[in-house]
Structure 1
Amino acid sequence: MKQKLVVIGAGMASGRVLEHLLDADPQAYDITLFNGEARGNYNRIMLSPVLSGDKTYADIVTHDDDWYAANGITCRFGEHVVAIDRAAKKVTGKNGTVSYDKLLIATGSAPFIIPVQGKDLPGVITYRDLDDTNAMIAAAAKGGKAVVIGGGLLGLEAAAGLAERGMDVTVLHLMGHLMERQLDESAGFLLRRDLEKKGVKVICRASTAAILGETHVEAVLLEDKTVLGADLVVMAVGIRPETRLANDAGLTVARGIEVNAQLQTSDPDIYAVGECVEFNNYLFGLVAPLYDQAKVVANSLLGQKDAFVVKELATKLKVTGCDLFSAGDFAEGEGREDIVFRDPARGVYRRLVIEDDALIGAVMYGDTSDSNWFFGLIKDKTEISEMRETLIFGPAYQGGTPLDPLAAVAALPRDAEICGCNGVCKGTIVDAINAGATDLGAVRAVTKASGSCGTCTGLVEQVLAVTLGDDFVLPTSQPMCKCTDMTHEDVRRMIKSQELKSMPAVRQACNWTTPDGCHSCRPALNFYLLADWPLEYADDPQSRFINERKHANIQKDGTFSVVPRMWGGITTPAELRAIADAAEKYMVPTVKVTGGQRIDLLGVKGEDLPSIWADLNAAGMVSGHAYSKGLRTVKTCVGTDHCRFGTQDSTGLGIKLEKTLWGSWTPHKLKLGVSGCPRNCAEATCKDIGIVCVDSGYQISIGGAAGMDVRETELLIQVPTEEEAIAVIKAVTQLYRENAKYLDRIYKWMAKVGLDWITAQVSDLETRTALVDRFELSQSIYRTDPWADHIAKNAETYQPLADLTLEAAE
């Protein structure tokens, strides 16, 4: 017979308990769930995006009515619990009593209200739940002035959201700088500056004396007699554990409900979880320890041994354009030393606190991309003496050679924590990806990574990019990136219609929120400007992905693969000897024939890339661009030279096409195949562009794929001569370059614009000729062998490329 479990409070902590419990043993308990709010569990830490208008309530619901019904949970929402009778083991709500075998208290916390005159006036609200958020949204719709009392996390998120809604917002903070518990004074200054750029006024050392008004709030009076007009006042000065029910029931309560390591209260049949809990003199306000508690509670309810352990915590702020991270102990003290990096122009600040050759604290503002790595060093108490000189620059500079962000992610161990809220490590995410979770939504659904506060989303995407390689594409249904509300298509239309010919011009015209862009938009903008204005725009190597900057494919262990070009799959004994010599000289662990009829040298060290390419270039071999968003291979069969079924010289045509198209940058990788007859030995019908030779000429088809999406090409056009076939392929490539969204393969672009439109463009002789002319112009400017060009400039030293810096966008 099932035991009866009663849960008081449907917050994030208790919701996670129920998930663990039901996953482990759905038949263990008959569950009744009380909640004072008239709704179930939602992601409370995402209330800030709801307030700012970036999300809706529906977007942040964690458990909907169907979930509760499917799991047989009796929901008593909108019903406050008024008493717990421990002797009778009953819980009394406003609508009746229910008995329990086990009870879980998850009452959370209550906002602290400053005891000043006017605190109960209409228009004075707190910021804790959806009702508070909706009240702020309603107030903001009327416009006017808002005063937020409290410059901590909640206060600043409320202020930013109200400013986004159009209110005139002032933040009052009692201390000398914002978020003084998490940030030092320098980082607090940068945060204040960025908030003020968003229109939020900040007054520090401000003590509230009274809230003024008769029937509704009208103003806030400060101790220094300053009067600030206010149509809305938000109290966000702190929280306290909600312990009234536990106190009334006679449980042991100090600041919070005291629990042991199994989250049991002083009554062994009553557990507590979340912000209402006190454990070993600690209180908890961040979601990560609450989720740790939830797992322990679920295991304890099932009779399994487990114990809650207090871990190091990190703080991040969910305000667009204000990226900050704080973890550990950054107070000054004897025997401690600080390492500080400041870049005022970029608004970047880092401070590391070291004690006894270990990192004990970190504060970062403006660039928090390495925060998980630093947090891992703090948690693991890693000995850092050997990396002392380069520590401030993050994981990309450890080992003496600058690496790119993706290289740093690739080098992270499997147990490196990626999502702090949910305790998800890299290995868990990689396993989920390999099992079929190939986009952010699928990874989130399987692992919960990035499913809480969302600040690790970029890092999860980097794990996706490292694991999937070229099969990873950014989401298409969202804005181009966090820097703008515009889609790729919107931005590209602006570039063409307003003749925008530089990244700063694009960012200014499109109201970019970050002055330098980010790792998502910079490669896309670089490509769009390169394709649309080849004469006026100069390629920016800093705005390319790591593979294109390294001119090699990064592997999961941080090494690289080198692929020399073999025109049409044809090679010579001399080239093969050069490859063999290079493989031996640089101790290449794996030499593999690729599906594109080339040879791949896998496992090359980053520092060996210039030298190995110098040797290959000396043998007459150029880069195969196996790393590029551009032409990869032209696969061919032997054609009429050797095959009795061949109708045309497929090998010769493949070589001509490869020599024509190589080095061209395209929205995504481009693969071609030329089959000498309809038997299709070169697999032309699953390429981006495929040519099948027939007796009457050349059938050109497009839109194939043989990766995660398997697609057959569709016939574009048939032409009688090889010359026309080459012209059509140049034209369709240029049409793709000029019109497709960055990181869309041809089949995705074709689905948007229609095959008929593409056919009409390349069939019209005048349009085709113009496209060919523009393609050839672009090729004459940008087609180079990157390693040959680099080695010519660095012939004596073979130093790594100068653009491979930490600042390079990824």
Structure 2
Amino acid sequence: MSKRKLVFVGNGMAGIRCLEEILKLNPDRFEITVFGSEPHPNYNRIMLSSVLQGDTTVNDIVLNSYEWYEKNNISLFTSETVENIDKKKQIVHTDKGRTVQYDDLILATGSHPFMLPLPGADKEGVIAFRNIEDCEEMIHASNKYKRAVVIGGGLLGLEAARGLLNLGMEVDVVHIIDYLMERQLDPTASTLLKQELEKQGMNFLMNHQTEAILGETRVEKVVFKNGKVVNADLVVMAVGIKPNVDVAKASGIETNRGIIVNDYMETSAPNIYALGECAEHREMVYGLVAPLYEQGKVLAKKICNQNLENGYQGSVLSTKLKVSGVDVFSAGDFMDHPTNKAIRVQDEFKGVYKKIVVRGDKVVGAVLFGDTTEGSRLLNMINNKENISNLSEVRILDSQTEKSGSLVAEMANSEIICGCNGVSKGDIVTAIQNEGLTSIEEVKNCTNASRSCGTCKGLVGDLLEHTLGNDFQHVNEKETICACTDLSHDEVVEEIKAKGLTMTKEVMNVLGWKSDEGCSKCRPAINYYLGMIHPTDYEDERESRFVNERMHANIQNDGTYSVVPRMYGGVTNAKDLRKIADVADKYEVPLVKLTGGQRIDLLGIKKDDLPNVWKDLDMPSGYAYGKAIRTVKTCVGENFCRFGTQDAIGMGIALEKKFERLNTPHKVKMGVSACPRNCAESGIKDVGIVGVEGSWEVYVGGNGGTELRKGDLLCKVETMDEVLETVAAYLQFYREDARYLERTSHWIERVGLDHIKSVVIEDSEMKSVLVDRMEIALNALPKDPWKEMIENTSTKENLFSNIDVTEVP
């Protein structure tokens, strides 16, 4: 039996989700062709704001790779638009002259961004925020210009504004009415959101109506009807979307606001269906992803001739997401009305607001701000029209019982965990038990829960813990930075990025630290993360560093210090040796010792002598105390050793000179051996380089300490330049991804070597990005930070004060 020809017009989230459902139901029924106007595979448009904000990359938001289309025998044509449909012959015509016949045709053309018809709207620098190209244009503009105006105070406008702030631009957000996100929030929640965003640096022009955009060729100013004028180098219009009905209209298919469909997603034309943002169902056009996925499931069953009782009945609109780091949720009819009554709770100390709207004996709407953990339960109550006459107000707002202490424990299996994808508690529990799932990522890949906006990840994690019990602790235990906060390392990094935080005290204040001053665990961690995230702008807070790093020396058990000058690749000369000998004599150094890292350690130096010791040595510090690149141990190499195959000394010196002073989550030791005999112990270093005939092997994650670990082979390259580039990408990924005070050996065990290879080795684009970020970080490093003790008396005094040996990790 020949396959039916199925053509998708549109390669977006709604259409391809429907296609996934079709493949689940009957993978062999259709010969499938997909046309997409954008030059990309299917990607998560919801996460564009994360790309703009720098939290993720374009590759990370791809939902279905090119390999997925190939694996499922789908013919994909990107950068190609269907312009006309011959309904009689059942043929589609594209803008590239291609014609394809169909038996069934699905229109999933999405929507167009609405651009205000203002004078000057056609000028350079006036854009929408709808696709990857818009993101790229904003990022490019931020490299040249400083002032941006975002027109629209809805969700999309606020996310664009947050991204532009992260890119270093000054941002004015223009909104035509007096409160933000009026479709998702009530006035109280909107006011709280505005106050929080103002703290993050957004400036709001409320009740402002734009009149014109001025400038010669590029935008220079924005004029408002009240006479106000603001400067602008970039204008982003985020005022809404309109269904893309172009091909339907051109082909004589019935349209109104959108392409009109019935409960089975059928259009007015035989064998042609529509779904997603382009479709109008019972006079409603939906822009949120959850209704679009519901439509996709109905259409998949219809087109595969599966049993359908009622078709698509419409959706209760709900939104659960993060707006610039703030959790918000709304669902149903949440506005005040004479027929409604509301339960309201507001905690100004915690920044939490909850409003539950009741009509008769049923919950019909809800707004949550700051704490959205109860959102899924409330949405289920609304959808199921649950009778609440026997529930107290407290029980409606708080589902956690004393017995279970868990929100998910109380949920029925039918209750929805992931609203975007319609995944219930029962679906996830069954998958965990049957498939042996132990992580949020595995649950996402198996069930689609948390695949879209990601705000249900917390509930998915809670459900994993509830289902796995003690086993969960071994796979996903949350590690907070310290007792000063309930946040993990990853959460603090995300919050710093999302809120644009730039100072240690600011992080503690904004993120609700329990101790105003923090402690010796969290202060250095925050200081590191800020420097890593803002390498060019952040001024290192020396007072937040461990005592050893402040003193540029290792404190000993008797209160004296050891000083280790740098010797690149373990190589020295007579001049430096004389300096060291003279210092040893002058300051009566009790012990001069050769270290395991091929350097000389001067032990027993008094604290007050440290500045003069460094001055007399006039040599770079070896960072024997630092969470940084410490040393590169080398063998003598091919120039001297009869077994050597490569120039180990030259490679070691090149590595050490390139990465010296680089701050890392923990100490990093390297070794370069000229042959597999490994005289420099390269196999147990954080980064070990081993020369073989004609090439170099790069090993990572070794540890020669109390937890001995052999390094893993990362890759094999031929030239010194390739070694330097690979090590740069690897170290930058470690810097960005590891937790503070996590050694490379522990990091690799946690995230997996295969994952690291996929980022650093296999993804050439990501590797290049990491190398570029490393160069930025290296160029921003101070040249001789240890000289501050010599040159600045006040700094010297600060460095010497409040020394506490217990600080040293």
TM-score by length of 1: 0.60
Q: Is the 8 A contact 1:484 1:510 kept in 2?
A: no
Q: Is the 8 A contact 1:484 1:512 kept in 2?
A: no
Q: Is the 8 A contact 1:136 1:162 kept in 2?
A: yes
1:704-783 correspondence runs (5 A): none
Partners of 1:137 and 1:490 in 2: how far apart?
A: 21
Q: How far 1:135 sits from its partner (Å)?
A: 1.1
AA in 2 matched with 1:511: V
1:207-286 correspondence runs (5 A): 207-286=209-288
SS of residue paired to 2:323: coil
Q: Is the 8 A contact 1:17 1:297 kept in 2?
A: yes
Partners of 1:257 and 1:291 in 2: how far apart?
A: 17
Partners of 1:47 and 1:170 in 2: how far apart?
A: 20
CA distance 1:490–1:81, change in 2 (3 Å): closer
Partners of 1:115 and 1:15 in 2: how far apart?
A: 32
Is 1:356 the counterpart of 2:363? The answer is: no
Q: How far 1:327 sits from its partner (Å)?
A: 0.8
AA in 2 matched with 1:326: S
Q: Is the 8 A contact 2:172 2:205 kept in 1?
A: yes
The equivalent of 2:153 in structure 1 is 151
The equivalent of 1:431 in structure 2 is 430
CA distance 1:129–1:457, change in 2 (3 Å): same
Q: How far 1:335 sits from its partner (Å)?
A: 3.2
Is 1:511 the counterpart of 2:511? The answer is: no
CA distance 1:28–1:165, change in 2 (3 Å): same
Q: Is the 8 A contact 1:419 1:450 kept in 2?
A: yes
1:652-663 correspondence runs (5 A): none
Partners of 2:228 and 2:312 in 1: how far apart?
A: 48
Q: What does the per-residue CA deviation read over 1:522-571, in whole Å, with 9 as the maximum and x for residues that have no partner?
A: xxx99989xxxxxxxxxxxxxxxxxxxxxxxxxxxxxxxxxxxxxxxxxx
Q: What does the per-residue CA deviation read over 1:38-73, in whole Å, with 9 as the maximum and x for residues that have no partner?
A: 112001111111110111011010111111111111
2:118 pairs with one of 113, 116, 133: 116
The equivalent of 1:64 in structure 2 is 65
Q: Is the 8 A contact 1:293 1:308 kept in 2?
A: yes
Q: Is the 8 A contact 1:484 1:513 kept in 2?
A: no
SS of residue paired to 1:68: helix
CA distance 1:490–1:264, change in 2 (3 Å): closer
AA in 2 matched with 1:207: Q
Partners of 1:49 and 1:489 in 2: how far apart?
A: 16
Is 1:103 the counterpart of 2:105? The answer is: yes
AA in 2 matched with 1:195: L
Partners of 2:230 and 2:14 in 1: how far apart?
A: 38
AA in 2 matched with 1:442: E
Q: Is the 8 A contact 1:340 1:392 kept in 2?
A: no
AA in 1 matched with 2:181: M
1:400-799 correspondence runs (5 A): 402=402, 406-435=405-434, 436-473=436-473, 486=489, 508=504, 511-512=507-508, 514-516=510-512
Q: Is the 8 A contact 1:483 1:512 kept in 2?
A: no
The equivalent of 1:5 in structure 2 is 6
SS of residue paired to 1:323: strand
Partners of 2:368 and 2:280 in 1: how far apart?
A: 29
Q: Is the 8 A contact 1:12 1:43 kept in 2?
A: yes
Q: How far 1:431 sits from its partner (Å)?
A: 1.2
1:328 pairs with one of 328, 332, 337: 332
Partners of 1:246 and 1:264 in 2: how far apart?
A: 13
Q: What does the per-residue CA deviation read over 1:486-527, in whole Å, with 9 as the maximum and x for residues that have no partner?
A: 459999xxxxxxxxxxxxxxx955825853369xx9xxx999
SS of residue paired to 1:217: coil
Q: Is the 8 A contact 1:143 1:166 kept in 2?
A: no
State how many pairs are aligned: 523
Q: How far 1:750 sits from its partner (Å)?
A: 12
Partners of 1:471 and 1:526 in 2: how far apart?
A: 32
Q: How far 1:334 sits from its partner (Å)?
A: 2.2
The equivalent of 1:655 in structure 2 is none
1:273-422 correspondence runs (5 A): 273-306=275-308, 307-391=311-395, 393-396=397-400, 402=402, 406-422=405-421
Partners of 1:751 and 1:216 in 2: how far apart?
A: 51
The equivalent of 1:19 in structure 2 is 20
Q: What does the per-residue CA deviation read over 1:215-238, in whole Å, with 9 as the maximum and x for residues that have no partner?
A: 101111011111111111011101
Q: Is the 8 A contact 1:373 1:394 kept in 2?
A: no
Q: What does the per-residue CA deviation read over 1:171-195, in whole Å, with 9 as the maximum and x for residues that have no partner?
A: 1111110011221111110010111
SS of residue paired to 1:466: helix
- The root-mean-square deviation of aligned C-alpha atoms, in Å, is 3.5
CA distance 1:457–1:144, change in 2 (3 Å): same
Identity percentage over the alignment? 44
Q: Is the 8 A contact 1:326 1:362 kept in 2?
A: yes
1:792-807 correspondence runs (5 A): none
CA distance 1:483–1:145, change in 2 (3 Å): farther
Q: Is the 8 A contact 1:478 1:487 kept in 2?
A: no
SS of residue paired to 2:64: coil
Partners of 1:206 and 1:128 in 2: how far apart?
A: 23
Q: What does the per-residue CA deviation read over 1:448-491, in whole Å, with 9 as the maximum and x for residues that have no partner?
A: 10010001011111101111123224669999699979459999
Partners of 1:489 and 1:325 in 2: how far apart?
A: 22
SS of residue paired to 1:289: helix
Q: How far 1:280 sits from its partner (Å)?
A: 0.7
Partners of 2:20 and 2:335 in 1: how far apart?
A: 39
Q: Is the 8 A contact 2:197 2:324 kept in 1?
A: no
The equivalent of 2:728 in structure 1 is none
SS of residue paired to 2:336: coil
Q: Is the 8 A contact 2:159 2:324 kept in 1?
A: no
TM-score by length of 2: 0.60
Q: Is the 8 A contact 1:212 1:218 kept in 2?
A: yes
Q: What does the per-residue CA deviation read over 1:259-284, in whole Å, with 9 as the maximum and x for residues that have no partner?
A: 11111101121011110000111111
Q: How far 1:434 sits from its partner (Å)?
A: 1.3
Is 1:74 the counterpart of 2:75? The answer is: yes
Q: Is the 8 A contact 2:155 2:323 kept in 1?
A: no
